[in-house]
Amino acid sequence: MKVKELMTKKVLVLKPNNTFEEAAKLFIENGIDGAPVVDKDGKLISIITKTDLMKAILNKWKMNERIETLGPKKVTTINGEMNLEDVLKYKVSRLPIIDKNNKIIGIITQTDLINNLVEKITKKYRDLKNTKLSLMELDSVIECSYDGIYITDGEGNTIKVNNAYERITGLKKEAVLGRNMRELELEGFISQSATLLVLKNGETTTIQQEFNTGVKVLVSSNPIFDKSGKIIMVVTNVRDVTQLYELKEQLQRNKEITRKYVSEIEEMRTQLLNTSEIVAEDHRTIEIIQLANRIAKVDTTILMLGETGAGKDQIAKHIHKVSKRSKKQFIKVNCGAIPTSLIESEFFGYEKGAFTGANKEGKIGLFELASGGTIFLDEVGELPMDMQVKLLRVLQEMEVVRIGGTKSIKIDVRVLAATNRDLEEMIKKKQFREDLYYRLNVVPLYIPPLRERKQDIFPLINFFLTQLNKKYNFNKVFASDALNCLYEYNWPGNVRELKNIVERVVIMSEDDKIKRLDLPKNIIGSNGMVVTLNTFEEGINLKETLDSIEGKLIKKAYDKYGNVRAAAKSLGIDPSTFVRKRQKYINNIDAQYKT
């Protein structure tokens, strides 16, 4: 049949000089998913396809082989003109490529082989949950998946691989499309095939898979069944777990490092807290001890600042204990507790007969006594101005002169000082010498109040409780409500107040379990008992009431005037009495509990 007759039979004919690409476009526009292209002698010279599925099918065919060896045996050999009856007989769709002389120089052909395969695969897709998506739409959905997707037919032949699979595994589509999973497993492309396990067991299978590219993945293969229960397809989801394994290994390394650091920190804490008088759990307290350990190695003067009862004296003892002077004397001097008339003789001593009432043998001063060791001047802000001048000279010259004596005595002593006063404000008010302040404040060390280092409260309670149980042969514990109340309290008296409260409730509580109601009223939030001359209630204890009033007056006087002498004068008592009473109420425990 001539070309014109082909055209009348609706056989697609190209215009002269059309290229293979234009022919392919026309062919695809007419509903053909893919087809081989042969020359006029019937040899395969190209493949037209727009889908991975057709590419997987047609890529098995070899170039330059005659078309009758590639498709059905009854395909007509191409020799110039086309026999249309044979084309229709064998259901071969062909598109001739004609030159300008109307001679057929090539043919694009699609045989029953391709048609049957396309129909078969298309039917499988249609059977998937009765989806109404077209193949192109379904293909787009698969390609949009972030995880890799690998699809085989019911015999394990690869029919679809998305781009994510290539990205994750490092394998190219061309290397696996159209190939059976048994071949890929045998050739070492994959360590093990989950698809083959599904085909064997008939159920969803998840395994770890490793590729020849070195990538490790987690694959989960799911079977797709037809109406008769036969597996027609296996869909595999692939997720890269290489990073997860790396993160797991890194986490394990971090855990080991953490355990090592925790062990080192605990060892460091044991070394830091080498005195049973210091309990430290809060990070601020530990930092203070670390700093104290560093400055303890040199003989510099240290000025400790902080509220009353915060633990300045304990830090001073710790510094002495870890210093090179630890085997020598540690002398603590409460500067506010010594009467003014006796300060100089207590500090520097006196010669025999120096004044009326003096010891006949004379007396060595505290600075001489501490020579070779450490002297701790607590409440140094209470020193009168004339003693400040004499103390400054001692610190500068490191020598003392006894009262009544003329000879200077060399001393070797380290000076630690502490105060709860604002010395800089006192300097402005001409109550403290500026030169002495700078002499003492070589290394300042601030001790925060207990309310600023809350993590120390429970360990301190346990420490004091253990000591008291051992001392009094008790077996007492704090209930959780009592502990919570103690934790929330503001602790104006700091560690000293905490210690005394613990001792009080341990002694006074009737049961072994100390409950919230066993705590003092000011701790649990009560305003306390108010007594006036116009009221009287049964059960009022006169001694406790008087002690409460006296303690409040002493505290208010000290808060107002800021020093012992002025506060004592305002209450009409001498400084030594004031110091004694103030210490009693700061400790907040009756004398009967100390016996």
Q: Could you write out the DSSP letters of every residue in 486-535?
A: HHHS--TTHHHHHHHHHHHHHHH-SSSEEPGGGS-HHHHT-------TT-
**Distance separating alpha carbons of residues 16 and 372, to the nearest angstrom:** 117
Residue 8 has pLDDT above 60, yes or no: no
H or E element that contains 38: strand 34-39
pLDDT of 573 reads: 83
Cα 127 to Cα 122, 133, 137, 224, distances in angstroms: 9, 11, 15, 9
Average pLDDT score over residue span 444-458: 92
pLDDT of 448 reads: 93
**Distance separating alpha carbons of residues 323 and 447, to the nearest angstrom:** 19
Considering the chain, what percentage of its residues have pLDDT values greater than 90?
A: 30
CB neighbour burial string for 55-76, b if at least 16 within 10 angstroms, e if fewer: bbbbeeeeeeeebeebbeeebb
Query: In this structure, what token pair is assigned to residue 505?
Result: 């409730």
Average pLDDT score over residue span 243-247: 71
List Cβ neighbours of 94 (8 Å cut-off, separation of 6 or more): 11, 82, 87, 107, 108, 109, 110
Q: Where in the chain are all domains bearing CATH 3.40.50.300?
A: 283-448
Bridge partners, 160 (sequence order): 151
Class of domain 283-448: alpha beta
Residue 272 has pLDDT above 80, yes or no: no
H or E element that contains 334: strand 330-334
- Lowest-confidence segment of 65-74, 75-84, 563-572 by average pLDDT: 75-84
- Lowest-confidence segment of 222-226, 333-337, 383-387, 566-570 by average pLDDT: 566-570
Using 50, 70 and 90 to split pLDDT, how confident is the model at 263? low
Residue 498 has pLDDT above 90, yes or no: yes
Question: Of the CATH numbers 3.30.450, 3.30.200, 1.10.10, 3.30.2390, which one belongs to the domain with range 3-118?
Answer: 3.30.450
For the range 512-518, what are the long-range contacts, defined as Cβ-Cβ under 8 Å and sequence gap of 24 or more? 512/474, 512/475, 512/476, 512/477, 513/476, 513/477, 513/478, 513/479, 514/476, 514/477, 514/478, 514/479, 514/482, 515/479, 515/481, 515/482, 516/479, 516/481, 516/482, 516/484, 516/485, 518/482
Tens-digit pLDDT profile for residues 25-46 = 555 555 555 556 666 566 666 6
Q: Where in the chain are all domains bearing CATH 3.30.450.20?
A: 128-240
Residue 74 has pLDDT above 60, yes or no: no
List Cβ neighbours of 146 (8 Å cut-off, separation of 6 or more): 164
Fold of 128-240: Beta-Lactamase (3.30.450)
Mean pLDDT of the chain: 76
List Cβ neighbours of 12 (8 Å cut-off, separation of 6 or more): 26, 27, 30, 95
